[in-house]
Amino acid sequence: MTEPVIAQKKPIIVELEAGKEYWWCACGRSKTQPFCDGSHQGTGIEPLCFREEKGGKRGMCCCKHTATPPYCDGTHKTLGD
Ligand code: FES
């Protein structure tokens, strides 16, 4: 399996709708971060499907190294240049 690439070293804040299903990009190659656009094909990495419960603003991981996907946990601050 290919390693995920770092889309950016900070989260993207998005407004999520309650009860809606989303596909979070886990490979880092999507042009529509933080969501999957199909660019993972051939990498062996699959997007993460999740359903937003409450709705509201969320910090979505874009470094793809979070321990709490799809959400940012601050891991991007520990990644080197
Ligand atoms: Fe990254 Fe689909 S484009 S997981």
pLDDT digits (tens, 9 = 90+) for 45-76: 999 999 999 999 999 999 999 999 999 999 99
Distance 71 CA to ligand 1 centre (A): 15
Domain extents for the chain?
Answer: 1-81
Find where tokens 């529509």 sit: 32
Q: Assign 40 to helix, strand or coil.
A: coil
Q: Are 40 and 46 in contact (CB under 8 A)?
A: yes
Model pTM score:
0.94
User: Is the confidence at residue 1, as pLDDT, over 90?
Assistant: no
25, 32, 62: residue to mutate for ligand 1 pocket, most atoms within 8 A of CB: 25
Pocket of ligand 1 (CB under 6 A): 25-27, 29-30, 36-40, 45, 47
pLDDT band at 14 (very low <50, low <70, confident <90, very high): very high
